[in-house]
Structure 1
Amino acid sequence: MRHRTGSGDEILPTSNRHPNGGTERRKHGFGAKIADFAKQFGLDWATILIIGIIALMIDKYVPDVGGKARYFRLLPGESTSPQMEAFGHPYRKQIITFWASAGLNVGIPALFISVLEICTRGNFIVFARGMLGAVNSVIMCCFVQIIIKTLVGGYRPSWFEICKPQPDGPGVGYDGTWYKWTICTGDQEKINWALESFPSGHVATSFAAGVFLSLYVNAKLKIFSDYRVNPIIMVLFLTPLTLAVLMGGAISADMSHHWYDIIGGAILGTFIAFLTFRSFYVSIFDPRTNHIGLEPSRRFQRGPEFDYGEYESRYGFPVFSYNYRKS
């Protein structure tokens, strides 16, 4: 038998239950659970939804300041210039659309968190906190990357095919070969899309969801802990990260982004995932406390006595019990 110490109201994934769990649960009906959910998370969900709406409005209505301020070089008859090598790729529809990516970034965490809560005997409030953190990570990342796209941007690999440039005179620069987007004759909606290369929003939000979910799996199953875990648990931990990397592969395959757009999106999403997880839970890697949820209006207090729940490791799987003691 192994013990892990912690503190707070939720010491292990089952600690939100009381020693007389059955009796306590019968006292709280469905209506009380909804009221508790609204009290704890209602304002957070409302704020996140507002931030998401603002992000969509910026993406739709704010001009691409960074992309439209850039120049590209046009050398008629030249197909081997560095500019053509970078921006002369054929245009392809995205393998994974924006809305498909959004659905995966929410649906996959919902599936994982639901299964983990069922398997570790959690409850609705613990599930709600996990989902709130996952959605918060995705929407915050979406908000930041849209602002960067708008103010920085850049040309996508298929820029020339989408732009269809038709200069009506010499350009600017030393040799008069540098032009802005205003000489484009292609579809305006596609041109606006092609000006928003950096960073990759698909990759950024996928890493925001995937890294947060992997940290959640670690907190629930104690992978970085004091026993050797079963390989199946390692697969659970690595699956969200693998899916995020595959998103980068899909974006690279359909030529929607350059390699540096993908790397930049991955770094941004990873940073926001760590930031979000730490803002929702007491710690990131400390197995004693990284499953303990933080409250919005009450500081976490580590008392002089530590509550801890018993568990044992069977074939590398943590098995949690309902027994509690004081040490």
Structure 2
Amino acid sequence: MLNGVAITRDEPLKLWTVDVCTTTDYLVFKDGIRSFPSGHASTSFAGLVYLSLWLAGKMHVFDRKGYSLKSVILMVPVLTAILVAISRIEDYRHSAADVGWGTVIGIFFAFFAYHQYYPSITRSHSHIPYPPRDFSYLVKDNDGKVHEAEHLEAMTGIHPNEESVDETQQQQLDQLADLEAQEK
């Protein structure tokens, strides 16, 4: 209301206000307002696109061997996510914009989460996850100060004043370096 007159459309910006909502049921009104973005679309795309990326890495989709079945298998989770998104529009729970933005959010977080743990699916070693991140070396002593030297030495296998290196970790690093060199 503006000066006692109900306004349903803001003429300069061409925007509609809540005055156009005609329902008398408060719960229906509240449900209509909180539909952006679509949680179903964002969750399904986040999970199923992540699954497709993971499968692509495990199956080496970009190894140029020409197996089209790999691509078909990868499309099943994505098509399932699209089906979920379309069902949200078809049963009138969301508008296309709600579902579209939910889809964008889901795909963004799927790529972000995948690349936190795995290299790009175009790499030859895309099936090998990154080494785990271990923060157990950050330990507080009795005074509450953080000491990391001893635990960092144990974690990396590198000790001061010694030439000893943990062989298993060095082998893993050498293997990753060899894979990187083969790609180039």
Question: Fold-level match, TM-score > 0.5?
Answer: yes
Distance 2:30 2:66 in 1: 51
> What's the C-alpha RMSD, in Å, of the aligned pairs?
3.3
Whether the 8 Å CA contact 2:60–2:127 is kept in 1: the answer is: no
Q: 1:250 to 1:184 in 2, by over 3 A?
A: same
Where does structure 2 lack aligned partners over 5 or more consecutive residues? 136-155, 157-168, 180-184
**Does residue 215 in structure 1 map to residue 85 in structure 2?**
no
Question: Structure 1 residue 275 and structure 2 residue 145: aligned?
Answer: no
Give the drift of 1:293: 2.1
SS at match of 2:50: helix
Q: In structure 2, do the counterparts of structure 1 residues 256 and 241 end up closer, same or farther at CA, with 3 Å as the change threshold?
A: same
Q: Is the CA contact 2:10–2:17 (under 8 Å) kept in the aligned structure 1?
A: no
1:303 equivalent to 2:183? Answer: no
Deviations 1:63-87 (A, max 9, x none): xxxxxxxx9xxxxxxxxxxxxxxxx
Shift of 1:184: 6.1
Which amino acid is the alignment partner of residue 120 of structure 2? I
Aligned residue-pair number: 137
Classify 1:214/1:279 alpha carbon distance in 2 versus 1 (closer, same or farther; 3 Å): same
% same residue: 26
Residue 31 of structure 2 corresponds to residue 193 of structure 1: yes
Residues 258 and 180 (structure 1), Cα distance of their counterparts in 2 relative to 1, 3 Å cut: closer
Compared CA separation, residues 249 and 185, structure 1 to 2 (3 A): closer
CA contact (8 A) 1:171 1:179 kept: no
Correspondent of 2:67 among 229, 239, 258: 229
Q: Give the whole-Å Cα distance in 1 for the aligned partners of 2:10 and 2:103.
A: 37
Q: Where does residue 289 of structure 1 map in the other structure?
A: 125
Relative to structure 1, the CA distance from residue 297 to residue 180 in structure 2 (aligned partners, 3 Å threshold; closer, same or farther) is same
Higher normalized contact order (CA 8 Å, seq sep 6+, divided by chain length): 1
For the residue of structure 2 that corresponds to 1:303, the secondary structure is helix
- Aligned to 1:287, the other structure's residue is in SS state coil
2:5 aligned residue: 170
Return the alpha-carbon distance in structure 2 between the equivalents of residues 271 and 249 of structure 1: 19
For 1:82-121, what aligned pairs fall within 5 Å after superposition? none
Q: Secondary structure, in 3 states, of the residue corresponding to 2:64?
A: coil
Q: Are the counterparts in 2 of residues 210 and 244 from structure 1 also a CA contact under 8 Å?
A: yes
Task: Give the aligned residue type for 1:285.
Answer: I
Structure 1 residue runs without a partner (length 5+) = 1-70, 72-168, 310-327
Task: Give the C-alpha shift of residue 290 in structure 1.
Answer: 2.1
Q: Rg larger in 1 or in 2?
A: 2
CA distance in 2, matches of 1:219, 1:174: 51
8 Å contact from structure 2 (residues 44, 84) kept in 1? yes
2:29 pairs with 1:204 = no
Residue of structure 1 equivalent to 2:103: 266
CA separation in 2, counterparts of 1:211 and 1:174?
Answer: 40
Offset from partner CA, 1:76-124 (integer Å, 9 cap, x none):
xxxxxxxxxxxxxxxxxxxxxxxxxxxxxxxxxxxxxxxxxxxxxxxxx
Cα displacement string for residues 198-245 of structure 1 (whole angstroms, at most 9, x for unaligned residues): 2111111111011101001101111122311242x2221000000111
Name the CA shift for 1:289/1:205 in 2 (closer, same or farther; >3 Å): same
Q: Distance in 2 between matches of 1:174 and 1:237?
A: 46
TM-score, normalised on structure 1?
0.36
Change in Cα spacing, 1:185 to 1:292, as seen in structure 2 (3 Å) is: same
Whether the 8 Å contact between 2:61 and 2:121 is mirrored in structure 1 is no
Distance in 2, matches of 1:174 and 1:273, equals 38
CA–CA separation in structure 2 for the residues paired with 1:305 and 1:210:
31
